[in-house]
Chain A
Amino acid sequence: ETGVTQSPTHLIKTRGQQVTLRCSSQSGHNTVSWYQQALGQGPQFIFQYYREEENGRGNFPPRFSGLQFPNYSSELNVNALELDDSALYLCASSWTAAGVEGYTFGSGTRLTVV
């Protein structure tokens, strides 16, 4: 059984650019949730995907968008990057019936916007 894998591990982008982060869910998991963790803070919920549809969203602007694929992997896209988008982006997968009880987090992608 494989865990949650995220790529890339680190990324540096320029303000105004666009970025795509990727997440492969744990085997058997069909729900993917994305969190943003600023330095020295707890993770904040961005959105969740289930059956390729957005299934809940936190307080993030529309320039944060996502996709889920038939194999349950997911992408997080951020357009028009701002300096404050610099953070660790975490993906968590779970089996729907287990909800947040079954959350497994990946190690994250560290995004730096300069």
Chain B
Amino acid sequence: EIVLTQSPGTLSLSPGERATLSCRASQSVSSNNLAWYHHKRGQAPRLLIYAASIRATDIPDRFSGSGSGTDFTLTISRLEPEDFAVYYCQQYGSSPRTFGQGTKLEIK
């Protein structure tokens, strides 16, 4: 199975700053089928990005995804208070689908 490694484990930033989150795969992700999710405890995870770079429905344009093959990045251009949460990447190009361990984005 494909192992996804996210970095950093925790990212401490202030509202208005730019966040850059990384997701590295142990082997190439088929068709760049890589998604990013936002998750707050007690809530449903929310799909942000799919196919590495396509924003999901109603996701603001401050979220962007990039990358291909084994290296992917989620960028949040200007952090809003509601953006502080845990972010997961997921590959859905190969079975079993796998998730990264998460990056916690916390307020500095």
Q: Do A and B associate with each other?
A: no
